[in-house]
């Protein structure tokens, strides 16, 4: 409790900072605490090294969790920061759905810039220099947003440098992609090592159920667009009737509303091709289990952008240098941000944001949120 009160006193719960900054502070503080305390175990027999190690780990994970709790508490007692969005409509909609709804940030929108605590501007606005100068003369917090919704805090003394940084952020971020992919690969191996018994159990039980209730084949494979636009064969449990491709073609030709739905979401909510057991597998996401084979092979990650169908290649070309520099994932930010209720275009925007804001902590959060989504079956069909 004292630990949390100290953090609150020094403003750790009422300021917006980049996640990397928070992690750096907590990681360094936790390591120093661990080293100093472990040193004491050499002099005092009543200290347990194991207990201190566990305590150090807890001190690293408690602050971000307690910060979320504090933000949600502030929300109920009307201590949210008010935000004015001085940006174009497409970016405004993205920030509303994807940033303002994040309880970790504890923000709410206002239409009055005078009462706003925080202003978000677009770095691509034609008159950005003039607009920025007018806002910098106030005491409000100013953030610049790039085309992907990445936010940059800006002040008078660093306005020019931050503006230039925001314009080149995407290219700077993508220059480190090989380093990020190496870390993600280590994360994948650790995940498989820990959960392989459970994954094998699910694989066996689900495969047997499909064989009994739906027949062969058990596994379905089709080609998706992978890293660097290279096609790869992705594995899933079969949830559709055999010869489903010809049935889809027939449906799209005969029903215009179904065609529009498929073009918008890249799937159908009430798909007649899905088998009875297939509906259950999709609802629980068990159809995704064979994709761990792809993770083991190395053409997918546990967490990553959504695997895109080959036939959608013309719709995703503009994301070639962002989304498709990462391997696709079994789960991803798109899945915990609306899942099947999210349009195809919005999924790509979310995936681009994920790539440009990637951190190992973000992947862990997505994993936890995925479990919650699966349990609630929210947005699944």
Contact 193, 296 (CB under 8 A): no
Half-sphere exposure for 296 (CA within 13 Å, toward CB): 11
Q: What angle do CA 89, 91, 93 make, to 5 degrees?
A: 70
Q: Where are the domains of the chain?
A: 2-76, 81-172, 177-239+274-376
Q: How far apart are CA 21 and CA 39, in angstroms?
A: 27
- Chain segment 217-227, per-residue pLDDT in tens: 999 999 999 99
Q: How far apart are CA 96 and CA 355, in angstroms?
A: 19
Instruction: Give every CB contact of residue 276 below 8 A, 6+ residues apart in sequence.
Output: 213, 214
Quick one: pLDDT at residue 28? 61
Q: Chain centroid to CA 33: how far?
A: 31
Contact 30, 54 (CB under 8 A): no
CATH architecture classification, 81-172: 3-Layer(aba) Sandwich (3.40)
pTM above 0.75, yes or no: no
Q: How far apart are CA 251 and CA 273, in angstroms?
A: 10
Quick one: pLDDT at residue 26? 60
CA distances from 45 to 38, 40, 42, 343 (A): 11, 9, 7, 60
Quick one: pLDDT at residue 186? 93
Quick one: pLDDT at residue 29? 62
Quick one: pLDDT at residue 33? 63
Quick one: pLDDT at residue 45? 59
Helix (H, G, I), strand (E, B) or coil at 371: helix
Which residues of the chain are modeled with pLDDT < 70? 1-53, 55-80, 102-106, 126, 243-249, 263, 265-267, 338-342, 377-381
Quick one: pLDDT at residue 14? 47
Locate tokens 């005491």: which residue?
A: 139
């Amino acid at each position: 409790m004292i630990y949390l009160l100290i953090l609150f006193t020094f403003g750790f719960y009422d300021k917006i900072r980049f996640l990397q900054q928070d992690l750096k502070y907590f990681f360094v503080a936790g390591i120093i605490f661990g080293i100093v305390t472990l040193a004491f175990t050499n002099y005092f027999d009543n200290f347990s090294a194991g207990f201190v190690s566990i305590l150090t780990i807890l001190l690293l994970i408690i602050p971000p969790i307690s910060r979320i709790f504090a933000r949600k508490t502030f929300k109920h007692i009307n201590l949210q920061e008010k935000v004015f969005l001085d940006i174009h409509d497409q970016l405004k909609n993205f920030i509303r759905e994807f940033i303002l709804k994040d309880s970790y940030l504890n923000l709410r929108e206002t239409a009055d810039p005078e009462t706003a605590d925080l202003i978000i501007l677009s770095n691509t606005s034609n008159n950005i220099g003039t607009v920025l100068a007018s806002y910098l003369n106030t005491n409000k917090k100013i953030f610049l947003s790039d085309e992907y919704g990445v936010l940059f805090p800006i002040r008078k003394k660093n306005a020019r440098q931050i503006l230039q940084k925001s314009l080149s952020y995407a290219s700077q971020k993508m220059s480190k992609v090989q380093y990020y992919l190496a870390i993600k690969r280590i994360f994948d191996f650790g995940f498989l090592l820990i959960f392989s018994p459970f994954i094998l159990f699910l694989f066996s039980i689900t495969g047997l159920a499909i064989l009994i209730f739906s027949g062969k084949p058990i596994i379905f494979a089709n080609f998706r667009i992978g890293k660097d636009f290279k096609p790869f064969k992705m594995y899933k449990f079969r949830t559709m009737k055999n010869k489903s491709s010809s049935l889809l073609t027939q449906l799209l030709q005969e029903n215009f509303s179904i065609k529009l739905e498929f073009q918008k979401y890249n799937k159908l909510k009430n798909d007649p091709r899905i088998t009875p057991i297939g509906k259950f597998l999709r609802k629980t996401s068990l159809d995704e289990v064979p994709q761990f084979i792809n993770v083991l092979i190395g053409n997918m990650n546990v967490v990553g952008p959504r695997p895109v169908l080959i036939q959608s290649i013309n719709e995703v070309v503009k994301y070639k240098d962002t989304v498709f520099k990462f391997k696709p994932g079994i789960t991803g930010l798109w899945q915990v941000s609306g899942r099947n209720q999210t349009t195809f275009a919005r999924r790509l925007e979310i995936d681009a944001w994920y790539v440009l804001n990637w951190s190992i902590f973000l992947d862990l959060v997505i994993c936890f949120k995925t479990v919650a989504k699966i349990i609630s079956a929210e947005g699944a069909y």
